[in-house]
Amino acid sequence: MLLSVIIPTYNRPLELAELLESLTRQQVDSMQIIVVNDAGTPVEAVCGHYPELNIEIVTLEQNVKHVHARNAGLAKAAGEYIMLCDDDDLLLPGHIRRMLHEIEGFDLVYSDVEIVHFQRANNRRIPMDRLLFAYEHDLEAMKRFSTFVSSGCLYRRSIHDVIGPFDVEMYHYWDWDFFLRVSGRFTVKRVPVASAIYAFAFDGGGDNLSGNHGDMRYYLDRLCAKHQLGDLPTKNFFVLLEEPEVQSRKASSEVVWDGSPIMSRMASAQIQKR
């Protein structure tokens, strides 16, 4: 049974190295790791620190952005199962094994996460703030505010035979769109363990889950029209978390991370050269 992990990346060697380091700690055989370099700096040296991982590098000649990059990875995926991961996120030990166990009888499973703000120091990222992101799985509520985090989700490759690739017209909301498309036809389950780490700037200064509201409004309107969601507001992510409806969906979750930063082999090698 082969699992294909798709990782789009663009100019994040430090973060990519830490993610690959986290994958070495999964104790899972038969992983195909597809690193899609979206016309950024070369990643061969980063990946070269992990010869035991079955890494396939896809190098794009032009920067086509993350949704196109994921589709490029999808085209190379040979596994029965697919796991998605952003290049700056992390998977905690045991995550993949648990997800492979939990998917029995389902088509897609996703975990809770801890949202973490990192700062760089000494060739690695140091966690500064952390927030448990765990909410009950409620499809109707998730049509108003999605609590699905794609990093670390696991699903059957055959899903794409039915729904096609990721929708490149949903640039800011590709993951929400993917979740709704899958939920409409397949069985989906939330796994109540925060075994994935989602990198995010709590002040809104990051480049994920945040952006220009005018730009996001355009894509939110497209999402609403595609899935008949009505008129949804464009608000700051953390403001939305304080909405009473979202608050009412808060759920308990197993927290497994001890808060320690990850030291990648690339960072260790750079320190040794000093």
Work out the end-to-end distance of the chain between its first and last CA atoms, rounded to an integer number of angstroms. 43
Domain that holds residue 244: 3-272
Q: Which pLDDT score, from 0 to 100, does residue 235 have? A: 83
Residue type, 60: L
Q: Which two tokens stand for residue 40?
A: 């950024």
The pLDDT mean for the chain works out to: 94
Count structural domains, the chain: 1
Per-residue pLDDT, averaged over 144-162, amounts to 98
The band of 273, judged by pLDDT with boundaries at 50, 70 and 90, is confident
pLDDT bin (cut points 50, 70, 90) of residue 1 is low
pLDDT at 270: 82
Least confident of 6-15, 20-29, 208-217: 208-217
Euclidean distance between CA atoms 138 and 131, whole angstroms? 21
d(Cα 248, Cα 245) in Å, to the nearest integer? Answer: 5
Which residues have C-beta within 8 Å of that of residue 142, sequence separation ≥ 6?
Answer: 148, 179, 180, 183
Whether pTM > 0.85 for this model: the answer is yes
We report the CATH number of the domain holding residue 126 as 3.90.550.10
Q: Residue range 243-257: average pLDDT?
A: 97
Give the pLDDT confidence of 114-147 residue by residue, as tens digits: 999 999 998 899 999 999 999 999 999 999 999 9
Mean pLDDT of 268-274: 79
Q: Is the pLDDT of residue 205 over 50?
A: no
